[in-house]
Structure 1
């Protein structure tokens, strides 16, 4: 892979540029500890919350509920799993969690160096969150103006990863064809196999170095490996 092959790089955001899991773990653990002090399953709360993320986000992406409804439903589901009463005001309760989550936003340590090493490439962020929140994350972790446009399904005509149109429209937003763009991210389907099926290059970011990966795709364990990969 060389600069002649790739003219643009799209980054996933959560789990790639920002430590989303670390922030959500901290936020939901603090929320449960405050509302249900001494709960015997407090140590499991973060893993339970993470497991609920995919199905409830999918409901929103598929148009089966609003983003606010999926948040409230997810909080209800967590309370049911913990066998505690759901808050009467789910909106206020979710806002408490969200404030803790926002307070823990942080970039991964390898991000600044990796972005600096991609001078000359068109850059962008392709993410499945809400537009205002994902833009706020990019600002909070110090990347505003450094990683190009933040592209969510809300600005890509309702197309979220892994829909083929999401990758095609994201490439077009950079002024490029899909085959001229490399997507790097931590989700095997959304960031590796699905973009490849849509004609885009992809690299799997496996920060733990422990998961089995898809065959035939470059695999890196740190974003600092990205620039050397592109110039090899």
Structure 2
């Protein structure tokens, strides 16, 4: 029986891609008006997120340092001089990023529906708590989702480390098989949790690719209530002690 649903935040409830597109474009235009690669900056920024965030997750650098590395390479790839004060320059990017914060249209609607089911509804994100909680407050979901779990509260463990999912379930006072995780990242939110007996659902908003045979995929959160009902009707399948 599923007793809790944990949602990833960025690209699941919060439209990170849209905010990045706005911020990368505005910031580049502010330092290099009319830059010939302006339209390519959103995709470049997202690529560099994927490249540099793992170093922070692995403990190889601080959160602030991975931001510096990202901005330095972003400028280099665009042929722009690296800012003398990378932290101040990044703060300028954040102003634009925060101006574009918004929830996906289906987020509040589905959370309202699920809020009447008696389930625990929370968040499991690899982000830092200050920023992620600020996003939830801005998009009006902070009071509807509790707890908000981040690596800071999970022993420094990031998805997809098994310890992250196990610690998350323990924080809820539940077994892993009583928790369902929904998120946009195939490995972090769908494949990873199933390895410890947690339920995982891949939210593929952009219909990027077919789901592996063992993975449950939805393309909108509006599919989640019916999926939950179907899962609740299935017989319990607890992980073995050896697992």
TM range (shorter): over 0.9
Q: Counterpart of 2:150? A: 152
For structure 1, the 5+ residue unaligned runs are: none
Matches within 5 A, 1:62-141: 62-118=58-114, 119=116, 120-141=118-139
Instruction: Give deviations 1:177-219, integer Å, cap 9, x for gaps.
Output: 1110000011000000011112110111111224222222221
Deviations 1:85-130 (A, max 9, x none): 0111111100010111111110000011110121211111000111
Q: Does 1:26 align with 2:11?
A: no
Q: TM-score, normalised by structure 1?
A: 0.96
Are positions 1:227 and 2:225 aligned together? yes
Runs of 4+ with deviation above 6 angstroms: none
CA contact (8 A) 2:13 2:104 kept: yes
User: RMSD across aligned C-alpha pairs, in angstroms?
Assistant: 1.0
Q: Equivalent residue of 2:181, what SS?
A: strand
CA distance in 1, matches of 2:100, 2:38: 19
How many corresponding residue pairs?
Answer: 228
Structure 1 residue 16: deviation in Å? 0.2
Scaled by the length of structure 2, the TM-score of the pair is: 0.91
Partners in 2 of 1:63 and 1:140 — Cα distance? Answer: 29
Q: Distance in 1 between matches of 2:100 and 2:73?
A: 23
Which ranges of structure 2 fall in alignment gaps of 5 or more residues?
Answer: 231-243
Shift of 1:18: 0.3
CA distance in 1 between counterparts of 2:77 and 2:56 reads 21
1:69 and 1:39 map into 2 onto residues whose CA distance is: 26
Give, in angstroms, the shift of residue 149 of structure 1.
1.1
| Contact 1:188/1:214 (8 A) holds in 2 | no
Greater relative contact order (Cα < 8 A, sep 6+)? 1
Determine if contact 1:124/1:174 at 8 Å carries over to the other structure: no
